[in-house]
Amino acid sequence: MKINTYIITGFLGSGKTTLLNELIKLIPEQVGIIENEFGKINIDSSLIEKKYDQLFELTNGCLCCSLNGELVTTLHEIIKSEAPIKNLFIETT
């Protein structure tokens, strides 16, 4: 199964969530989102427009600093899911 994967990264306040919202308007079919948050409260997921099939939240820290298996587990969930995803967006912290 082929999944188009887009990684959105940038500094805090650089417009990652705004860009993500624009991209899911352009690529609306079978969208999955992995939202990576650093803090205990996930603010960005409430700012994402509800035009996706699946949303996964990773809250254990930065993807690039510490891969603790949560990302790999989430990717396995996506692959095994009965709701197919063609386009996966990963928004990092």
Residue 84 lies in a domain: no
Residue 37 lies in a domain: yes
pLDDT-derived band at 45, boundaries 50, 70, 90: low
Residue 5 lies in a domain: yes
Residue 91 lies in a domain: no
Q: What total number of domains does the chain contain?
A: 1
Residue 18 confidence (pLDDT): 87
Average pLDDT over residues 10-34: 85
Closest CA to 56 of 8, 7, 19, 91: 91
Residue 85 lies in a domain: no
Written as six digits, the tokens of 48 are 């994402």
Domain that holds residue 24: 1-58
Residue 5 confidence (pLDDT): 92
Average pLDDT over residues 78-88: 86
Residue 65 lies in a domain: no
Residue 4 confidence (pLDDT): 92
Q: pTM (2 decimals)?
A: 0.75
Residue 2 lies in a domain: yes
